[in-house]
Structure 1
């Protein structure tokens, strides 16, 4: 897997990888991560992937991170 770009964002760490005909968009916040796999044929190169990362997408990603954290904290409280 090859790192194509580190995409600056004040809220999450975003890394774009290329592997086996796919772009792998990896977003990280604290100890959580989300990965999106995008066929290279679905976008117009690296810039096409970067264009997908708009404010609405980041807002959804941040909401999902919050949900992931809440679910994890709940299971730790129940089972820890």
Structure 2
């Protein structure tokens, strides 16, 4: 996987990578990660990727991170992993 660029954001760590004919957008928050794979044929210029990461999109990403955390916490409570 080839690193292309970091995409600055105040709350997430966002990286753009190229691999196997795809651009991969990795968005990290704490212990969680969301990955989006986009065909290189769908985006001719990787510099256009940050424009797609607009406020409505990142708002949904943030909500998904909250849901991921809630799922993980509930799983821990069901199986008492913290003990």
| TM range, smaller chain | over 0.9
Q: Structure 2 length normalisation: TM-score? A: 0.92
Runs of at least 4 residues of structure 1 off by over 6 A? none
The count of corresponding residues between Structure 1 and Structure 2 is 80
Counterparts of 1:1-40 in structure 2, within 5 Å, are 1-40=1-40
Q: Alignment partner of 2:41: what SS?
A: helix
Rg larger in structure = 2
**Displacement, 1:47?**
1.7
Q: Alignment partner of 1:9: what SS?
A: coil
**Residue ranges of structure 2 left out of the alignment (5+ in a row):** none
Q: Structure 1 length normalisation: TM-score? A: 0.96
RMSD over equivalenced CA pairs, Å: 0.7
